[in-house]
């Protein structure tokens, strides 16, 4: 220890060694700053990846619509095509869902367990879509319900956990 951080080592009058714990504080503060910087960089990368996923999802939506127009088939909504990820999350998450081409006014509604609406956003896509939700400024830790409404009717819902 004396070689690595000599200012942290004290030698008493009796020749016994001791540690000055205050000498560690600058190192701890700097390491905390470094970790915070790395965490912020990772959050930024995560946001960029979410944006890429959304852009790719939009392209897939266009292709799905074109395919449906070519095939003339009717699309149905399948529970397996409704996913919230990550779950648990910090209030910022993605929802994978399927919206039929003929759907009117599709929307995502987030409610707390008491049924109070926390957020509502329109869905502006058809086919297999990924919607981004950011509730960080309006949400506290807890369990919430994410619901998909089409034509004002509940189609699918699932619960998710927020743990900031």
The pLDDT of 126-130, averaged and rounded, is: 89
For residues 81 and 106, the model is more confident at 106
Long-range contacts of 54-59 (CB under 8 A, 24+ apart): 54/130, 54/131, 54/132, 57/125, 57/128, 57/129, 57/130, 58/125, 58/129
61: enclosing H helix or E strand: helix 25-71
138-154, pLDDT tens digit by residue?
799 999 999 999 989 99
**Residue-level pLDDT at 77:** 64
61-88, pLDDT tens digit by residue?
888 777 766 655 445 566 767 899 999 9
**Residue-level pLDDT at 92:** 94
Taken in order of first residue, the domains within the chain and their CATH numbers are: 75-162 (2.60.40.3080)
Percentage of the chain lying above the pLDDT 90 cut: 52
**Residue-level pLDDT at 70:** 63
**Residue-level pLDDT at 61:** 80
- pLDDT category at 3 given cuts 50, 70, 90 is confident
**Residue-level pLDDT at 114:** 95
């Amino acid at each position: 220890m004396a070689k690595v951080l000599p200012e942290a080592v004290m030698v008493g009058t009796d020749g016994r060694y001791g540690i000055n714990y205050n000498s560690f504080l600058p190192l701890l503060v700097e390491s905390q700053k470094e970790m915070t910087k790395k965490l912020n960089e990772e959050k930024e990368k995560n946001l960029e990846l979410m944006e890429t996923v959304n852009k790719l999802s939009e392209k897939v939506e266009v292709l799905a619509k074109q395919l449906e127009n070519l095939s003339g088939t009717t699309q149905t909504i399948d529970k397996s095509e409704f996913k919230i990820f990550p779950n648990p999350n910090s209030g910022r998450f993605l929802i994978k869902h399927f919206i039929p081409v003929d759907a009117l006014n599709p929307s995502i509604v987030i409610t707390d367990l008491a049924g109070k609406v926390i957020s509502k956003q329109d869905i502006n896509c058809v086919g297999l879509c990924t919607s981004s939700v950011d509730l960080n400024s309006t949400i506290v830790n807890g369990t919430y319900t994410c619901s998909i409404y089409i034509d004002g009717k509940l189609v699918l819902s699932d619960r998710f956990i927020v743990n900031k």
